[in-house]
Each structure stands twice: as C-alpha cells, then as structure tokens.
Amino acid sequence: MLLPFIILLPLIGSLVPVLARGARRTRIALLTALLPAAALAITGWLGVQVLNGEILHFELPWVPKMGLALAFRFDGLSLLFTLLILGIGLLVIVYARYYLDAKDSMPRFYGFLMLFMTSMLGIVTSDNLMLLWFFWELTSVSSFLLISFWTWSSSARKGARMAFAVTGAGGLCLLASLMLMGHIVGSFSLDTVLHSGETLRQSPLYPLVLVLLLLGAFTKSAQFPFQFWLPHAMSAPTPVSAYLHSATMVKAGIFLLIRLFPVMGDTDGWYYIITLTGLITMFYGAYMAMVQYDLKGLLAYSTISHLGLITMLLGLDTRLSTLAAVFHVINHAIFKASLFMAVGIVDHECGTRDSRRLGGLRRYMPYTAALATVAGASMAGVPLLNGFISKEMFLTETLQIQSLGGLSWLIPALATLGSALSVAYSLRLVVDVFYRGEPRFLPKQPHEAPRPMRLPIEILIILCLAVGMFPSFTVGALLNTAMSVVATDAMSGQSLAVWHGVNLPLMMSVAAMLLGLIIYLLRNILHSSFRRDFLKTDAKLVFEKAVQCSTAFGERVLDRIDSRSLQQYMLAMMTIMLIMATQGLIKMPGLMGPVPLQPIDPFVLAGAIALCIGAIATVNFQRFRLVALICLSITELMVALAFLKFSSPDLALTQLVVAPVTLILMLLTLFFLPQQTPRASSGIRILRDLVLAAAVGTVIASLNFAVLTDHYDSIGKFFTDNAVSGAGGHNVVNVILVDFRGFDTLGEITVLAITALGVLKLLNRMKLFVPTTSAENRPWAPEYFPTIFGSVAQVVLPLALMVAFYFFIRGHNLPGGGFIGGLVAASALIMMYTARGVEWTMRRLRIDFQRLIAVGLLIAWLTSAAPLLFGHNFLTTWFDHFDIPLIGSLEIASALAFDLGVFLTVLGATMMILANLGRLATPYSPAREHRQIDGAKSAKKEMR
C-alpha cells in the first residue's frame, strides 16, 4: 500500500537537510524537494482511484484494546488538501532557496519545513482521532520552530510563543472533544465516527463536544476572539508565511470543521456559533487589513478575513454553502501564496515592506508588478479569476438565509460590505505599492528578482487564470469527489460556470467593487480612526503582559502555600496517607487472615534486626553524612538478602548492582556538600516526627500483615503460564520487562535517557569547589589514585565486562537481563574511573555516552515498531529455535534486541551522570570557608 508513503517521504525529507549539511544550497534544496515531489506523484497515482469513487484505507494496529492504531484514510477531501499541502510546499521550497540569506541555516529551515509538511499531511489523512490529534499538536510544535526561525529577532520569538500558547491551548480542548467523541460512539476510528452522526447529535454531551471542538478549530484557524496570534506570526521568513497562512496551518481548523461537518453539523448550535464567529472575524480582519502599512501585516489580516468568510460559509444553513467553502479553500490558497511570495520579493529586493516608503515599483519591477496585480485582483474577486467564482457563490448563499426572519436581509448586505473591504485592501496592496507615487528612502535599489524566485508565483498565477476561466475542467472533478464525503448532494445540479447571467449576486459583486473603490479613496479616514482607536493596543504586548501577570499570580499563590521545607512536605503527605490508611484498617473486621503464619527463621530474624538497626542508625547519624550513608548501605544489603530468601534472584541481583552505583552517586554528591550539618530540629519537632514515623510504620506494617495473611488472586499465574509459550523465555521477570510490560520498560529507559541529558545540561561548564582538607583543616592524602587500586581495577575491568555480557545474554532464561547487565558494566567502568580518574580513563576509553544512549533508544524503539511491518501489534515478540552445528539447538528471540537497547541505554545514562559529576573540580579549604562565613556574620552583628 502506497498511502503511508505520502506521510513517510516528507518525514524522511526532514532528515535530508541534516544529512546534507555542508552541501551547496541548491543541492540541499533539490534533495529536500525530491521526497515531497515523490509523495506528490504517489498522491496523483492514488488520486485516480479516489476520483473514481474509492476510499483508500491503511491501518496498523498499535493498542487495539484502547482503540489506538496507525490508520490513514484517503478520500476526496484528503486528496484535495494533500494536493494543496504538497503542491504549494514544493513551490515554497524552490522560493525559499533564493529568499534566504547566506547567513540563514538552510538545512535547519528545510528540516523544520518538512516536519511541518508531515504534520499537516498526517492531519488530513488520519483515520484515527488520537492520531489526528497527535499530528495536530505536531503542527503547533513545528510551526513554533518555523515562526521563531530567526531566533535573533525578539518579535519572532514572541510571535512564536504566542502562536504556540494559543494553538496549544486549543489543542488541549480538541483532545477533550475527540476523547468524548470516541466515548460516545465507542471508537476512535474516524470511519466509525463519520457513520455515527445521529448518535453524536442526540448525545447529552453533544454541546460540550461541540464547544471544545470549535475552540480547537477556532484557535488554529485564527477565528475571533483568537485571531490576534496570526499577524504576529508574520515575523517568520516570508516562505513560512506563504506556506503556513495559505494552504496549511490556518487551514487545519477549517479542514477539521469540513471533515466533521457531516456528524457535528445540522444543529442550531453549529449554525449560530460558526456563522456569528465567521462574520465577526471576516469584518475584523478586513478592517484591520485596510489600515496596515506593513504589507505582510495587510496579508495576515486579509487571511483572517478570508478564513472568517470560509467559516461563515460552513455555518450557513444552505445546500451549497459547504461547496462554496471548500472551493474558496482552494482559491484562497492559490492567490494568497502568490501574494505572500510577491511581497517577499518586494521585501527582498527593496529592503522594506512599509507601504509608505514603497510606490511606483512597476517601473523597476514590471514582471513582479504584473504577477501581484493578477493575484490581488483574484483576492478582490475580479471576474475571470478564481476568486470571483467562489465569492459569487458566497454572495448567492447569503441570499438563501431566512433564519433571521425580517432581518435576514442583513446577511447579504454585510456580505457585500465585507467583499467591498476585500476590494479596498486589494487596491491598497497593488496600487499603492506598484502604481502610485515613487519609492522613498529604500535600503536597496529596487530591481527584479531572479527568474527561479518568480517561477512559483508564475505557476500559481496560471492556476488563478485557469480555475477562473475553466473551473469545471480544472477543479470540477476534485470538488465533486471532495464533496462526496462532506455533503453528497451539494454538487447535484450545480454548474461551476463563470457566467450565470445578470442576477442579484452579480449585482452584489458589482456593488462590492464600486463600494470597495470608494472605501479605498476614503482610506485616510480609516487610517485616522485606526490611529485613534487601535494604535495604542498591541496584541503582542497585551499577551506578554497577560503571561507576566499569570506568572506573578502563580508566584504569589506559591509563596502562600509553599513553605520550602521538605519536613513540612513530608509531614503533610504522611499525615494524609496515615488518615486514609487508618480508615481502611478501622473498617476491617480483623487483621489476621486465614493464611497461617510461617515459623520464625533465625536468619530472617537476624536480617530483620540488622535492617532495623541500619535504618535507625541512618536517622541517628543523619548529621554525619558519610556515616549515615554507610548505615544506609546496610539496609540495601539486607533488602537484597530478603529478595534472595524469598526466591527473587533477579531483584536481588538488581539490588546488589544498584547499591554500589547509588553509593558512588551519593558519595559524589556529598563530596561537594559540608561533611557535617548543624542540628536543625528542636526536641519538640523530633518528638513529633518520631510519633508520626511510628504511627506510619505501624499502619503500613498492619496493612502488609493483613494482605500477606489473606487469600488473593495473583496475576503471577498468567505470567508463569505464558512466559514460555508466549515469549519463549523461562525467566519470568525478564519476560515481563521485555514483553508483557515492555511498553513500561520502553518508557522508563526513555525517561532515564532524558534525565541523563538533563544532568549533562545542568552540569555543563559548572565548576564546584573540591575540598582538599577535612572540616578541621587536616589535609587529605595527596595520592588521589593509589597504584594498587588502579592495577587491580585494570585486571577486574575485562572480567566485570564479561560478567555484564553474560548477565545480558542469559537474561531471557536465567536471572539477568539488559538492565542488570548494563548496571554491572557501569559498575566496572565506574571502578576504573575511581581508580584512575576521569581524565585518564576518558582518554583511553573514548566512549561517547550520548551516542550510546541514542543507539540504545533507537534499537529499543525500532525493535518495538518492527512487528507493525508484519501486521502485528507494537512490541510483539518473535522467537524460534534453530539447530546450529557444533552448538546444538538454540533459541533466538527478538526480545534480545530490545534488551540490547535497554543495556546500552542504562550503561550510557548511568555513566553520563556519574562521569560528569566526577569531572567537577576546583580545590578549596572547608575551614577557610567556615572562617569567611563566621567573619561575615561578625561583620553583620557589628553593623547592627
């Protein structure tokens, strides 16, 4: 099935620029464009089947019981949006090659662009609600990277942060809506949802689902009152603006409304909310576009206006309004992308986008002027261009509205006024820049852009003319196929003709053009009103002020409830736990269950006493940290012996290996802290803590006693019965880790890797004082690395690594595994670091622990995902027995590869943390520091 490659090829394309780093700019652009071009070819191939009425599906189950699957759907609506995303995306790639300066990182730009393209393709082809939401959020992340591409620009960073915050909040609302939707229909499959419209509309949760859905769509598509983020996203490079705000990001919300129209539409809530929101957005955007001096700002607000128009069409309760909305999606993408690119050429070749400094550019840039004129005329709705047809359809549908009774005439009147404003700001864009006045104080001498930079605009202008003159021939079949999954009867009896005779919609179009000309001539009045009413309000500053106020409010609340005392935190937590556990114990009829007690083993009793002594000694000597750490190690040893006693060799091995690693980590940490701490608790507080600890210990012991003396159903039998037959392993513990609960293990090693990278970042370039004397100012031995210790470590290292490999290789059938093997190998390397020092060891080992972590995670994730290629679920284990000469029968399981990923990740993460802690070094004397502190305290007392 070729369908997944439409998404996969652009995703691979996001890696090509990284792999081609250092290559020539043209080659990077060419390599980047190849894979989306291949995806476009596949789209055309599959599009033939879709145009013939087929709906293509592809599904790889992931977690079937939760309804999660890698599922894609390719129908007429998906085909339409996929063609826009890939087609305009390819033109943007070509355009960006000549727009970006030499100082801009082209590989990074193309990588972000391809990631964004992948996320948009995922949205329009997803056949699973959760998968759709995943790609939805990926658009927010990738658009943040694109908008903030010029990281040196404060406006770019703030604009990206604003866009991410607004669309991210909307994404959370969308997640809630989709989860409720899946709960109502009983499935997250989009195919099931699209056939459950009546069930959704009759559900009592429908109003909540609708509101949350519209919040997600409105924030992404910049509908009122969330429209403020879009103009500030114009700080991005023009190729980004041309792509995000014509065919992709802002159309994601529109796509969602169109996609779910058959199941969520046809209700009063849908019609009134969407129509009113679209109408307000259309007028707000049109007015603000009319008074902008920044050309990209003008286009941004015009985008808001046209998005409001499309949203309003989706809310109108008429038969053809949805068709007009889908048609205008195509037309807007074509002329808006061309206009953004034309403005980018003006900015690139003149050095400014300020319309007050531009004028008469037709004499300097005649070819660009001609292209921009045609695109602007299409946006204004001039006949024989694509924008005219969809605008006339819009005006026609407004005449069908009767829901407002005697006031229904207001809808077509307001629609005509909105169209007039569109004509006015189109005239401002074209006439003021290219035909009126002279350029003034330009940073550059204006001239034509290179031909390849104009080529994408030329292609789009040809489409404007072709769709405008021959709509049925160019997009008729595509629209018919798209509407077949949205509104099946929308195209019946409808002709996409340029001329429908002299009728009322045509008169409304003429009136809009004349009124738009008048508004353009009176534009100075609008500018003065804007300066008086709106100029003092900057949405970016308002948003930043809101963020700062929210942060300040959160800090004030935190100051009220946060005591910054670990003792108080533990007191509150333990008290609440004690109350809840005590209530459960009080309700029990008796503590002793039917299971008889086992006789007391003298060795178990001795171990329990040693465990208690170690715990009490740790608390008693807590002021003397090294002594307390030694006492704590006694408890760790006793716990390991307890595991051995109760037949848990894997847990015992893990505990025995974790104990020295933890001990070394604590020693490295305590090395930089005072060797003794002052007594901080009063006698009353110590008594309180003692009573609380005794109470908690009593309650927990009682609960354990009640559980161990009662019968209960254990899940352990399932694991023991299926370990060999289901996973091919006799070591049940390891089988649980790499098979039955493999997803938990995958998440844990991922978190471990992230933690190690966080420690690396935290310790990067940090310098801490390294004590060279004791607290009494006694100098330590000058020999840091004893010769005997170093010699023994070099002998033990290969043996320990051999033992680590042995534990790893036998883990599926005997005690061991990747986690234990990784810790043993880390312990061996730590011993070498301790014996010879960090610098000496690193010069000889030359191990890149970051790369080791990356390789380990990659192996684990690839092993987990490989079963999907063979039609099995995520993390399905394969095993078989093979007869090997001279060795005999040998079992090979895919879990071994997963365990290898665990081994490498654990080894790399452990060593990255410990090695970087050990590298912190700057000598100092604790006694000298104490004298300085005492001197400072004395000085403060004298000042008082």
Q: Which tens digits make up the pLDDT trace of 334-350?
A: 999 999 999 999 998 88
Q: At what angle do helices 410-430 and 295-315 cross, to 10 degrees?
A: 160
Which of the four pLDDT bands, split at 50, 70 and 90, describes residue 926?
very low
The reported pLDDT for the residue numbered 123 is 94
Distance CA 393, CA 506 (A): 10
Dig out the tokens for 931 from the structure. Answer: 């004298």
- Across residues 893-921, what is the average pLDDT? 83
Mean pLDDT, rounded, of the chain: 84
**Torsion of Cα atoms, 656 then 660 then 661 then 666, to 10°:** 130
**Torsion of Cα atoms, 91 then 93 then 94 then 97, to 10°:** 150
| Lowest mean pLDDT across 370-374, 889-893, 902-906 | 889-893
Q: Which residue has the higher pLDDT, 889 or 309?
A: 309
Q: At what angle do helices 818-836 and 838-845 cross, to 10 degrees?
A: 120
- Across residues 551-564, what is the average pLDDT? 83
Which of the four pLDDT bands, split at 50, 70 and 90, describes residue 40?
very high
The reported pLDDT for the residue numbered 495 is 66
| Lowest mean pLDDT across 571-575, 663-667, 887-891 | 887-891
Which of the four pLDDT bands, split at 50, 70 and 90, describes residue 943?
very low
Q: What is the DSSP string of 289-350?
A: HHT--BHHHHHHHHHHHHHHHHHHHHHS-SSSHHHHHHHHHHHHHHHHHHHHHHHHHHHHHH
Summarised one tens digit per residue, pLDDT across range 134-154 is 999 999 999 999 999 988 888
Percent of the chain with pLDDT over 90: 26
Q: Which of 178, 176, 329, 317 is nearest to 252 (CA)?
A: 329
353: exposed, middle or buried (Cβ count in 10 Å: 0-12, 13-18, 19+) = buried
On whether the CB atoms of residues 475 and 467 are closer than 8 A, the answer is yes
In the chain, the N- to C-terminal Cα span, in Å, equals: 82
Which of the four pLDDT bands, split at 50, 70 and 90, describes residue 543?
confident
The reported pLDDT for the residue numbered 206 is 92
pLDDT exceeds cutoff 60 at 643: yes
Provide the whole-model pTM: 0.77
Distance CA 288, CA 283 (A): 9
Measured CA distances, 626 to 665, 671, 826 (Å) = 13, 9, 23
On whether the CB atoms of residues 100 and 91 are closer than 8 A, the answer is no
Distance CA 627, CA 617 (A): 9
pLDDT exceeds cutoff 90 at 685: no
pLDDT exceeds cutoff 70 at 922: no
Dihedral sign for Cα atoms in the order 514, 515, 520, 521: positive
Which of the four pLDDT bands, split at 50, 70 and 90, describes residue 924?
very low
| Lowest mean pLDDT across 356-365, 696-705, 840-849 | 840-849
pLDDT exceeds cutoff 80 at 175: yes
The reported pLDDT for the residue numbered 330 is 93
Summarised one tens digit per residue, pLDDT across range 59-71 is 888 777 777 888 9
Q: Which residue has the higher pLDDT, 942 or 423?
A: 423
pLDDT exceeds cutoff 50 at 929: no
Distance CA 369, CA 328 (A): 24
Distance CA 394, CA 316 (A): 10
Summarised one tens digit per residue, pLDDT across range 788-814 is 777 888 888 888 889 888 888 888 888
Q: What is the largest CA-CA distance in the chain?
A: 106
The reported pLDDT for the residue numbered 465 is 92
The reported pLDDT for the residue numbered 771 is 67
- Across residues 506-518, what is the average pLDDT? 89
The pairing of beta strand 879-884 with beta strand 888-893: antiparallel
Which of the four pLDDT bands, split at 50, 70 and 90, describes residue 913?
confident
The reported pLDDT for the residue numbered 246 is 85
Distance CA 431, CA 377 (A): 11
- Across residues 926-933, what is the average pLDDT? 45
- Residue holding tokens 């509309």? 201
Dihedral sign for Cα atoms in the order 165, 167, 168, 170: positive
Dig out the tokens for 173 from the structure. Answer: 């609302």
- Across residues 609-613, what is the average pLDDT? 89
Phi-psi region of 351 (alpha: psi -120 to 50; beta: other; left: phi over 0): left
The reported pLDDT for the residue numbered 546 is 82
Q: Which residue has the higher pLDDT, 636 or 218?
A: 218
Percent of the chain with pLDDT over 70: 90
pLDDT exceeds cutoff 80 at 124: yes
The reported pLDDT for the residue numbered 113 is 93
Distance CA 414, CA 43 (A): 40
Instruction: Read off the amino acid at residue 508.
Output: M
Q: Which residue has the higher pLDDT, 602 or 87?
A: 87
The reported pLDDT for the residue numbered 770 is 65
- Across residues 158-179, what is the average pLDDT? 92
pLDDT exceeds cutoff 70 at 676: no
552: exposed, middle or buried (Cβ count in 10 Å: 0-12, 13-18, 19+) = exposed
- Across residues 297-307, what is the average pLDDT? 92
- Across residues 187-211, what is the average pLDDT? 91
| Lowest mean pLDDT across 3-17, 193-207, 446-460, 563-577 | 563-577
Measured CA distances, 658 to 548, 755, 823 (Å) = 44, 17, 7
**Torsion of Cα atoms, 63 then 68 then 70 then 76, to 10°:** 150
Summarised one tens digit per residue, pLDDT across range 718-748 is 888 888 888 888 888 888 888 888 888 888 9
Q: Which residue has the higher pLDDT, 671 or 284?
A: 284
H/E stretch holding 62 = strand 56-63
Distance CA 12, CA 768 (A): 43
Distance CA 114, CA 125 (A): 16
| Lowest mean pLDDT across 113-122, 163-172, 396-405, 478-487 | 396-405
Q: Which residue has the higher pLDDT, 62 or 515?
A: 515
Summarised one tens digit per residue, pLDDT across range 350-394 is 888 888 888 888 989 999 999 999 999 999 988 888 888 888 888
The reported pLDDT for the residue numbered 29 is 86
The reported pLDDT for the residue numbered 533 is 55
The reported pLDDT for the residue numbered 940 is 46
Measured CA distances, 195 to 71, 185, 201, 323 (Å) = 17, 9, 12, 21
Summarised one tens digit per residue, pLDDT across range 227-259 is 888 888 888 899 999 998 887 888 999 999 999
| DSSP one-letter code for 450 | P
pLDDT exceeds cutoff 90 at 675: no
